[in-house]
Structure 1
C-alpha cells in the first residue's frame, strides 16, 4: 500500500539555502503539501530569509509563529533562536529551550516531532551542512516508516551533514537535488 504523505520537512545548514531554493523553485503555488524548512541561521537574521524565498518561489514563504496552523502551498521557515515542534492539531509550537547540536532551531527536534505527529506520512530531507544535526531525526522518521532522503554528499556544498545522515540511516535514499526536486513534484496532486 502506498501512503499519501502529509508533510515535507527539510533540514540544512551551510549550503542549505542555495540547495533548498533549487529544490523548491518549480513547485506550484497550490502545492498539495506543506513544506517545513529548518535552516541553521544566525540569531539576528530576522526576516531576510523569508523575503529571499518569497521572491524566488511560487510557494508562500512564511516565518513560523507559535500556533500557526499547517497549510498546503506554504513554505514554513523556522525562525532564528527557536526550536520548531509540530502538535497533534497540525499547529506549530515554538520552543526556546537549550541548544541541540549547538543549534536552535535544531533540525532533529523538528524531524522527531513531525514523525510523532505524522508517522509514515512524513518525508524528511537532509541537505548540505557542516554539523551532524538532522541525522538522528532522519533516523527517527525512518523508524516511524516515513520517507527519508539525503542530498548526494558529493554534490553538497558541505558534505558533513549528508554523510552523518547516511551513516545514521543506511536505508535512506541518496539523491541529487534534481532527483529530489522531481520526486517532490511527483507528489503534487491537482
Structure 2
C-alpha cells in the first residue's frame, strides 16, 4: 500500500485519544491527515492550538477550497462538514447534520475514500454514536485500510464497536500502535 492520506474520526474522549496518536507522527510523515472531532457548533476550536503545541507536523483548521499539503494535520472547523474533493482539495459544507453531527466523520471518510481509494487509511477512535461506521466501510470498500481503537481502551466504545461491525476487515489497535502503523504504510 502506498499511503496518500489519513482520515481520523473521534467523539467523546477524542481529545485524549488524539493526544496519544497525533504527537507520535514524526516530522518526516509526508501525508496529509484530516481529523473530525464532534465539537459543539458555537465553541471556538481550541483543538488547533492544543495540538500545534504537541505535534511535529503543521496543525491547522481546514479552509474551504484549500489544496491538501503533505505533513499537515487539518481539523474540521466547528459546525462545518469537512470533505475532500477531486484534485485533493478540501471543501467545507453547512449541509444538514449526519448522525446528529456537523462536522460528521462519515462525510469526511466517504469523500476521502472517493478521492484517495486504496491510498487512504481511516482511523475510528472513541465515541458515543455510530458516526464513522459507514465511512470506514467506504474506506475499506475503496481498497483503503481501516484502523479502529481497541474498545477496551476507548472512553466510550460505541463508535469503535460500530465501525468494527461495519468493516470487519479493519484492524483493531491500541492507541500507541496507530501512528507507527500509519508510518509503516508510507514506506
Pairwise TM-score range, normalised by the shorter structure: over 0.9
Match of 1:102 in 2: 100
Contact 2:109 / 2:136 at 8 angstroms: preserved in 1?
A: yes
Of stretches 47-56 and 6-15 in structure 1, the one that deviates more from structure 2 is: 47-56
For the residues of structure 1 that align with 2:117 and 2:184, how far apart are their CA atoms?
Answer: 21
Contact 1:30 / 1:72 at 8 angstroms: preserved in 2?
A: no
**SS class of match (1:58):** coil
Match of 1:131 in 2: 129
Match of 2:15 in 1: 17
Aligned with 2:69 (options 51, 68, 71): 71
- The equivalences for 1:2-151 within 5 A come to 3-151=1-149
**SS class of match (1:11):** strand
Match of 2:161 in 1: 163
Deviation at residue 47 of structure 1 after TM alignment: 3.3
> In angstroms, what is the RMSD of aligned CA positions?
1.1
Contact 2:66 / 2:89 at 8 angstroms: preserved in 1?
A: yes
Unpaired runs of 5+ residues, structure 1, are none
Deviations 1:62-112 (A, max 9, x none): 000101110111000000101111011111110001000000000000000
For the residues of structure 2 that align with 1:133 and 1:49, how far apart are their CA atoms?
Answer: 20
- How many residue pairs were aligned? 187
Asked if residue 174 in structure 1 is aligned to residue 136 in structure 2, the reply is no
**SS class of match (2:35):** strand
For the residues of structure 2 that align with 1:45 and 1:187, how far apart are their CA atoms?
Answer: 35
For the residues of structure 1 that align with 2:30 and 2:165, how far apart are their CA atoms?
Answer: 31
**SS class of match (1:183):** helix
Deviation at residue 185 of structure 1 after TM alignment: 2.9
Task: Flag as ranges the 4+ runs of structure 1 deviating above 4 A.
Answer: none
